[in-house]
Amino acid sequence: MDKLIVEGKNILSGTVSVSGAKNAVLPMLCASVMISDGLVIIKNIPHLNDVTTTTSLLAKMGMTITMDESMNIQLDSSTINNTFAPYELVKTMRSSILVLGPLLAKHGNAKVSLPGGCAIGTRPVNLHIEALRKMGAKLDIFNGYIHAKCKKLQGVTIEFPQISVTGTENILMAGCLADGITTIRNAAREPEVVDLCNFLNKMGAKISGQGTETIIIEGVEKLKGASYTALPDRIETGTFLIAAAITGGKILIKDTISSHVAIILEKLKEAGAYIKTTESTIELDMKKKRPTPVNITTGPYPMFPTDMQAQMTALNSIAKGKSEVLENVFENRFMHVQEMNRMGAQIEVKENCASIVGQDTLKGAPVMATDLRASASLILAGLAAEGVTEVGRIYHIDRGYDCIEEKLKQLGAKITREPM
C-alpha cells in the first residue's frame, strides 16, 4: 500500500486540466449493457480505480471492452452471457448497484450483491429497490444479494421521498426500455445525471426534463451504439481550486465547466479569492492571503456538494476566524476531522455540524485517509501545513482522482508517492 508525502507551504501556481467526471462515466459504462446494436464509445474517461472496477464487473458478465491509448473505452454488449455482480467487486464500489436497473431492463433478471456498509454512512439502496418493484420487478434479498427478475418493466410514476443521485440514474436507465412512460419526481439534478440522459438519448432513448425535478422517460424497443464524450469532473475542479486557495496561490483550470461549480466559486469568493471565469476555464488568485472563514451547508445539486465538504473544511481550518460546516447528505462524513485535528486544526463535531476555529497554520503529521474525499482534504491540509504530512491508505484517492500527485506537482506542490 502506498502513501503520499506532502511537503507543505509551497504556493501553488500554473495551469491544470480537469479529467472526465467519475460520476458520469460510471453510470454510462453500466448503461451500456442495454445496447442491442452496435458499439458504445465513451471518451474523456478518467484514469481511476473505480473505472477499472466497473469495467472488470462488466467484463465478468461477458461484455467485450477495449481501451485505446487516448483512454477512450469501446464496449460491445453483444457478448454478455450472465447478469451476476459478485460481492468481491461490488463491495469496493457502491456505485456497482447501477448495473441493476439496466440488467433488469435488458435481460429481465439480475443477481447483484448488496453494496454493504461504507465509511461515510449507512447508504442504503432501499429507494432503488422500491422503485424497481413499482415498475413491476420482483426483487428478493437473501444471502447478501438482490435477486431480481421481471417480464418487461412497466413505465410508472416514481416520486422519490428523498433525492438520490444513483437512485435517479438506476430508474431512468430502467425506464429507457420499459413499456410506456416512466416519470421520476424529486429527481436528482446533478450535471452527471443530465450527462447520462444526454448519452442515453444519443443511443436512442427518449428522455426529457433532465436537470429539473421531473424527468420523463418514454420507453423504446431498443438502444443502439453511439459515441459520447463525458463531461469534466466538477469535484476535481473544486479540489484544485481549494488546493490553490489553501496555499494562497494563483491557478488556471482548463477543460472544466464553470457553471457546474457556481456554488463553490461563490464560497471561494466569500473566502477572499479573486475569480475570473469563461465557460470552460476558471482563474483563481488568492493573492497570498489567508482565507476568510465561510459557512457551508451541503445538499443535492445545485446546493454545495457533499463531495466538496471535506476540502472546504480543510480551507476553513486555516481561515481567519470561526465557521460552521453543516453536512446534510451523509450522516457520518466527518472522518477527516480527527485527522485534521492531529495536524493542529481546531474542529469540533456535534451531530451533523462541524464548528471550526481557524488556526494560523497546521503542522504536518502522519494521517490516514478514510474515504475518497476525506483523503483529498488531508492532502490539501498537508499543502497548507508546516513540515511534512504523510497521507496513508491512499487507495481511496486512486478510486476518484486522476493522477492527483502529477497534477499537483505540475502546480508546484512538493508531493511524492512512496510504498508504506
Binding residues vs ligand UD1 (CB under 6 A): 23, 26, 94-95, 121, 123-128, 162, 164-167, 306-307, 329-330
Task: Between 228 and 304, name the residue whose CB sits nearer to ligand UD1.
Answer: 304
Q: Where does 356-394 have alpha helices with state H?
A: 372-384
Task: Between 26 and 153, name the residue whose CB sits nearer to ligand UD1.
Answer: 26
Give the shortest CB-51-to-ligand UD1 separation in angstroms.
11
Phi-psi region of 352 (alpha: psi -120 to 50; beta: other; left: phi over 0): alpha
Task: Between 307 and 390, name the residue whose CB sits nearer to ligand UD1.
Answer: 307
Residue 369's Cα: distance from chain center in Å?
17
**Whole-angstrom Cα Rg for the chain:** 21
Residue 223's Cα: distance from chain center in Å?
26
Give the shortest CB-308-to-ligand UD1 separation in angstroms.
10
Give the shortest CB-236-to-ligand UD1 separation in angstroms.
12
Q: Distance between CA 400 and CA 94 in Å, rounded?
A: 13
- Kindly report the three-state secondary structure assignment for every residue of 50-109: HHHHHHHHHHHCCCEEEECCCCCEEEEHHHCCCCEECHHHHCCCHHHHHHHHHHHHHHCE
Task: Between 12 and 335, name the residue whose CB sits nearer to ligand UD1.
Answer: 335
The DSSP-derived string for 136-157 is T-EEEEETTEEEEE-SS-B--E
Residue 271's Cα: distance from chain center in Å?
24
Dig out the grid coordinates for 323 from the structure.
465557521
Task: Between 66 and 126, name the residue whose CB sits nearer to ligand UD1.
Answer: 126
Q: Side chain identity at 38, as an amino acid letter? A: G
Q: If we measure between CA atoms, which residue out of 374, 378, 381 comes closest to residue 358?
A: 381
Give the strand pairing for 2-7 and 282-285.
unpaired
Query: Please, are residues 179 and 108 in contact by the beta-carbon 8 Å criterion?
Result: no
Give the shortest CB-181-to-ligand UD1 separation in angstroms.
23
Q: How many residues does the chain have?
A: 420
Give the shortest CB-275-to-ligand UD1 separation in angstroms.
23
Task: Between 47 and 254, name the residue whose CB sits nearer to ligand UD1.
Answer: 47
Task: Between 165 and 369, name the residue whose CB sits nearer to ligand UD1.
Answer: 165
Which residues are designated catalytic? 118
Give the shortest CB-140-to-ligand UD1 separation in angstroms.
17
3 state DSSP class of 85: strand
Residue 77's Cα: distance from chain center in Å?
25
Q: How many CB atoms lie within 10 A of CB 154?
A: 17
Give the shortest CB-390-to-ligand UD1 separation in angstroms.
26
The DSSP-derived string for 199-228 is HHHHTT-EEE-TTSSEEEEE--S-EE--EE
